[in-house]
Amino acid sequence: MPQLNNADPITDLVLLHGWGMNSAVWNGVPASTWNGLTQHRIDLPGHGDSPFPTGRDDLWGWAEACLDAAPERAVWVGWSLGGLLALAAALHAPKRVAGLILLTATPRFTQATDWTPAMPAATLAQFHDALLADPSGTLSRFLALQVSGSEAARDTVRQLKQELATRPAPQPAALALGLDLLREEDVRPQLPDIRCPTLWLFGRNDTLVPARVAERIAVLLPEAQIAVIAGAAHAPHLSHPTETAQAVQAFLLNHVC
């Protein structure tokens, strides 16, 4: 696996949350997980305290918005949609992304003939339609999906709701565009262009990003480090913080510190 330049140590960490969330979700992750790196918690466009800029209405525009708010060089952590954006940032500005930690992320979220371990496109289309009629109810149902199958589902969803309530609700237009990104984007062809070290963490019981994606990542990105957390669903950093921290700390120690 590629090694970072130890003569120029990395001190910063960018954290990107998932769809419909905000940066407060990282409050539930023990600070020790990040091995002393300085956290930069970025709200995705139109989420939390982040504005929803015009003219940046695609994956690369959102990645640029995140890069604008990020330090010059850092390890990037992305959860779910945030992972897709972290990948886009690494492809768009490779010198600024020293490493990638991808939490239940995937280069393609919807099924295709050659990509079966994913959500049916119809599922995201239903969320899109429901979002127009009932934004808050749609977010609640999505929260339930985040933890479906987890051993700690009830506690995890309670924690998520408490953290999210501390920040402004996401803008409906940002939610709609985020669903479009999840439904339409596919960066599988660009994965071989990723040159920084990568850690991919999956939840064995995840219903949104099946753990079988790990097998595909191993083929597309042979040098990637991959771990599947038993008993976890789509939020292993919240439901299984100890196991997540062990994997993250080992990755940072071996490839950053």
Residue 206 is among the residues annotated as catalytic for this protein: yes
Residue 257's pLDDT band, with cuts at 50, 70 and 90, is low
Please state the rounded mean pLDDT for residues 218-230.
96
Out of 23, 50, 80, 150, pick the active-site residue: 80
Domains in the chain: how many in total? Answer: 1
Out of 40, 206, 237, 255, pick the active-site residue: 206
The answer to whether residue 126 scores a pLDDT higher than 70 is: yes
Out of 234, 237, 240, 255, pick the active-site residue: 234
In a domain, 2, yes or no: no
In a domain, 6, yes or no: no
Q: Is 142 annotated as a binding residue?
A: yes
Most confident of 79-88, 139-148, 230-239: 79-88
Q: Phi and psi (nearest 5°) for 213?
A: -60, -30
Return the CATH number at 204: 3.40.50.1820
Range of the domain at 150: 12-255
Residue 186 is among the residues annotated as catalytic for this protein: no
Q: Is 146 annotated as a binding residue?
A: yes
152 versus 12: the higher-pLDDT residue is 12
Q: Is 234 annotated as a binding residue?
A: yes
In the block, tokens 């990638």 appear at: 100
Cβ–Cβ < 8 Å for 257, 3? no
Residue 239 is among the residues annotated as catalytic for this protein: no
Q: Is 23 annotated as a binding residue?
A: no
> In this predicted structure, what is the pLDDT of residue 122?
87
The answer to whether residue 53 scores a pLDDT higher than 90 is: no
